[in-house]
Structure 1
Amino acid sequence: MSYKKKWKLILEEKRFREKSATIESDGRNTFENDYGRLISSSPIRRLQDKTQVFPLEESDYIRTRLTHSLEVSYLASSIGQSIENWLLNKKELDIKLKGNLSSLLRVAGLVHDLGNPPFGHFGEEAIKKFFKKYFENNKKTTLSDLEKADFENFDGNVQTLRILSKLYYFGDEFGYNLNYSSLASIIKYPSNSLEGNKNPTTEIAKKKFGYFVTETETYKKINDHLKLGNRRHPVVYLLEAADDIAYSAADIEDGVKLGKIDLDDIERIFAKNLDKNKEPVLNQIKELKEKYANEKNIDSSLIIQKFRIFTQQIMIESIVKSFEENYEEIMEGKLENEVIDISDAKDIRIAYKNLQYKVFDDKSILKKEIAGWEAIYGLLEIFVSASQSESFQSAGNNLESRLYKIISTSHRKVYEDVEKYPNSEYKKLQLIVDFVSGMTDRYAIRLFQQLKGIKI
């Protein structure tokens, strides 16, 4: 298949069922239609109280998962426009599909963190550690190695596919009923939990995993229709790059605002880690410091905002160039690196990453993350213990039934009427993980305190 035909295949309309009727004057493309389905939904709204870097932060300046996702959405769409112009000039893209690639990336950026549990990656670790210990102590489990691996390697990206394709109940079993490519754009590691999680590995598709056993058929239909060959969708590389650009610079901007790092830290660490971009980047820091040194009512946050924009421009330009240079491998899903790691902006990304370590190790962050860990781990203990009883159902008036009825009605609807997976033990555990991972940071803390009698 030519790459022009491949672009046509992955940018056209294809869903699990016919989309609902729209008004006659609707001029949106298929991916703008997806964006409209997503933007007003409750899973998107809950991102406003999920950790980006600073858990339970009171400052309204600091980014949450929602504001981060909106930034990634814009950056990804911007990169998509540049790539699209290049493809049109190469005659690799049908003019009728103009706008679809940037719209697809806009959708991908919006939803890429949708499945992240409370307290981000630390929350993921709490879930994984709980289930590793649970299966070690529960020798009577009916779960296969593959089924256990789904829980022991829980990943927010994998949960995102489940939310989008099934868990968000809107009247049937298809979730949001998004375009196939919208769903494929967030499958970073197209393997199951046993074939994947081979880190370190030379094959990027197997570094982690991309779908639970309950979404195996969903993945296969997408993979087969889009002819991906169990490789990454080309858009995944661009989404990953936009995510890297957004959070690497923005996390540092937030860190400066909260006083966790300062301009001297930034200048020192960039000077130590830069190579190709050393002269222009360090000159920019110097010029910004000199320009605003004696300005009234100006603090370092303005300087870091302008510095972020400057470095992001370099990274975006480098990503577009790297995509063009590695076009064939990306189209085949065989590029075994992240695009930014082989771009001319690699050194900027490394410098930001080293700054992030300084921010992440701040004691106030560590304390809140530990509190979040205890809440998530504790909630899993409470609900998983209850799930082992036959009374863990809506009928009844005992402890286990009361706990079952605390789980959100939409999750129970999917569990009882939509999810057809045959292993009942797996289904119960997945119901609990769906519920806990979908919580906001504050709700997780509050519910744990209420169930433990710490706060009523």
Structure 2
Amino acid sequence: MLYSAKDYQRVRKEKEELDLGRSQFRRDFARLLHSPAFRRLQGKTQLFPGHESDFFRNRLTHSLEVAQIAKGLAQQINKRTPAFKRRSIDLDLVEFAGLAHDLGHPPFGHNGEHALDDCMKKYGGFEGNAQTLRILSRVEKKIQAAIGPSDDICGITPEGIDRRLGLNLTYRSLAAVLKYDNPIPLRRKKDTPLEKGYYESERELVEKIKAHVGVPTASTKFKTVECQIMDIADDIAYSTYDLEDAMKGGFSHPMQLLAKVGDESLLTKLHEKVAKEVPKVTPDEVFAALTDLFMLNGADTPALEQYTTSKMLASDAKMRSEFTSELIGRFMRGVSVTHGTGADIKFSKVEVAREIRIKIESLKHLNFLLMIMSPRLKVVEYRGYEVVKTIFETLDSEEGHLLLPDDLQVMFGRLTDTDSKKRLICDFVAGMTDRYAVEFYSRLRESGASIFKPI
């Protein structure tokens, strides 16, 4: 059975008005769409800073594209796979997962993520996917557990009990964003790398999710079919549309990228990254995959003609659109499902054909090595790290919590342990948009805005 009654349950029971024709998953979708955390994604960087051009994607537009690709993949699986013709994957749930997948990203993307993780290493760490689960299940200010005085609107009781339930989503919706099935250690050494997973503060919730959704019998890995579809859709969108933004930004064009891959040192780095995702892939396979993607007129076409077409593609909006559209379609057609039986059908393995997976991973990591690691973006990276870390350390100083908004100051005062207080500060900083973080930083270190403008 793909969905059971327990999948639709919530931490706090609510009256479900199903007579209105809206399913529980559609209700979850609506709660996410109307949440402040979702709106703030418009102010968070995807690849290039949003103020540079109206064309470039931000975390919000990226999430919309991931949701559309994820929904398309689910439709494709429902149509092609006999097991899912009878028990269709819920499209609202898959679309929800796509919209929510980047909710936990802090300002300045991975640079802000590393800054917050460095600040939180001794208090449970920070990681974007873990933060997504926390925002949906705790940070968003919609539903609270019935603990404490009924007239007390604070999410923390006077006794220090956290009664916040975030959007109070169904357990199956929460499972759809649980990409990594392991808790992040509460205490880590200063030099340890960023670790993916969920926070110790959400361990009890994850146990409840598994108790309601179930666990796979044929595997030790908890990852629902909807979560897998979202994950693949993210890779497809990220690898393709970051390339389009890079071409629009004048960073490169296909033949220039292919020429750079001809550099042995770059190809070695690229192969190392792809090999982590595609076992036994060879450097020749990586180069061949990119050659197939970037040789726009075929391998037999004269070099000058290839170069001219490549330059034209990068500068012409229609050609760029056709190129990325063809890539998206090609990548999506390479996705299939090996379905489980009985209760394990909800953990069916979503797979990408090896040839297509090599192309997606090669393109994704090439974007990272040549765009994100470029000198122009490294300047932005350095600044973003410094801004986020400075804000956190200031708020974490002796009287720094007095800079928090009024409602968070009340919560901070009621919390009784250091870990929870640090996490509250971390939640606040992680929720900032890039522009708000810069403005907050300027108030701390520069002349700043008017004192009459609220924090």
Is TM (by shorter chain) over 0.5?
Answer: yes
List per-residue Cα deviations over 1:249-287 (Å, max 9, x = no partner). Answer: 110100111101123224546897354796587356799
List per-residue Cα deviations over 1:47-105 (Å, max 9, x = no partner). Answer: 00101111353311000000000100111111111122234x336744xxx4x522111
**Per-residue deviation, 1:195:** 9.9
Residue in structure 2 matched with residue 344 of structure 1 by the alignment: 355
Residue in structure 2 matched with residue 433 of structure 1 by the alignment: 426
Query: Quick one: which of 379, 384, 402 aligns to 2:391?
Result: 379
For 2:310 and 2:247, the matched residues in 1 are separated by 19
Query: Quick one: which of 309, 313, 316 aligns to 2:325?
Result: 309
**Per-residue deviation, 1:39:** 0.9
**Retained in 2: the 8 A contact 1:11–1:101?**
no
**Retained in 2: the 8 A contact 1:167–1:411?**
no
Residue in structure 1 matched with residue 266 of structure 2 by the alignment: none
Residue in structure 2 matched with residue 161 of structure 1 by the alignment: 133
**Retained in 2: the 8 A contact 1:408–1:435?**
no
Residue in structure 1 matched with residue 83 of structure 2 by the alignment: 90
Residue in structure 1 matched with residue 200 of structure 2 by the alignment: 213
1:105-116 aligned within 5 A: 105-116=94-105
1:56-455 aligned within 5 A: 56-87=50-81, 89-90=82-83, 93-94=86-87, 98=88, 101-132=90-121, 135=122, 148=123, 150-151=124-125, 154-172=126-144, 173-194=164-185, 208-228=195-215, 231-268=222-259, 273=286, 275=288, 282-283=295-296, 299-319=315-335, 321=336, 323-324=337-338, 331=345, 339-340=351-352, 343-352=354-363, 353-386=365-398, 400=399, 403-409=400-406, 411-412=408-409, 424-455=417-448
**Retained in 2: the 8 A contact 1:270–1:351?**
no
Q: CA RMSD in A?
A: 3.6
For 1:295 and 1:123, the matched residues in 2 are separated by 34
For 1:170 and 1:113, the matched residues in 2 are separated by 20
For 2:311 and 2:203, the matched residues in 1 are separated by 59
The alignment partner of 2:396 has SS state of helix
**Retained in 2: the 8 A contact 1:169–1:410?**
no
Residue in structure 1 matched with residue 25 of structure 2 by the alignment: 31
The alignment partner of 1:249 has SS state of helix
Runs of 5+ unmatched residues, structure 1: 136-147, 198-206, 387-399
For 1:297 and 1:310, the matched residues in 2 are separated by 13
**Retained in 2: the 8 A contact 1:284–1:307?**
no
The alignment partner of 1:57 has SS state of helix
The alignment partner of 1:60 has SS state of coil
**Per-residue deviation, 1:356:** 3.4
Letter matched to residue 422 of structure 2 = L
Q: Is 1:49 aligned to 2:26, yes or no?
A: no
List per-residue Cα deviations over 1:193-234 (Å, max 9, x = no partner). Answer: 13999xxxxxxxxx9443222222211111111112562222
Aligned length, in residue pairs: 393
**Per-residue deviation, 1:180:** 1.0
Q: For residues 196 and 283 of structure 1, do their structure 2 counterparts lie closer, same or farther at Cα, with a shift above 3 Å needed?
A: farther
The alignment partner of 1:345 has SS state of helix
Residue in structure 2 matched with residue 395 of structure 1 by the alignment: none
**Per-residue deviation, 1:293:** 5.9
For 1:209 and 1:10, the matched residues in 2 are separated by 30
**Per-residue deviation, 1:350:** 3.3
Letter matched to residue 264 of structure 1 = M
Letter matched to residue 168 of structure 1 = E
**Retained in 2: the 8 A contact 1:412–1:431?**
no
For 1:261 and 1:281, the matched residues in 2 are separated by 12
**Retained in 2: the 8 A contact 1:8–1:93?**
no
**Retained in 2: the 8 A contact 1:122–1:373?**
yes
**Retained in 1: the 8 A contact 2:313–2:320?**
no
**Per-residue deviation, 1:354:** 1.5
Letter matched to residue 316 of structure 2 = S
List per-residue Cα deviations over 1:331-377 (Å, max 9, x = no partner). Answer: 58596xx844x533023113312143211122221111111111111
Q: For residues 239 and 114 of structure 1, do their structure 2 counterparts lie closer, same or farther at Cα, with a shift above 3 Å needed?
A: same
For 1:345 and 1:10, the matched residues in 2 are separated by 37
Q: For residues 101 and 412 of structure 1, do their structure 2 counterparts lie closer, same or farther at Cα, with a shift above 3 Å needed?
A: farther
For 1:270 and 1:11, the matched residues in 2 are separated by 50
**Retained in 2: the 8 A contact 1:56–1:442?**
no
**Retained in 1: the 8 A contact 2:44–2:434?**
yes
**Per-residue deviation, 1:383:** 1.4
List per-residue Cα deviations over 1:150-184 (Å, max 9, x = no partner). Answer: 12xx1011011111011101142321111211111
**Retained in 2: the 8 A contact 1:188–1:210?**
yes
TM-score by length of 1: 0.76
Runs of 5+ unmatched residues, structure 2: 145-163, 189-193, 263-283, 450-455
For 1:11 and 1:357, the matched residues in 2 are separated by 44
**Retained in 2: the 8 A contact 1:231–1:334?**
no
For 1:297 and 1:313, the matched residues in 2 are separated by 18
Identity of aligned residues (%): 28
TM-score by length of 2: 0.76
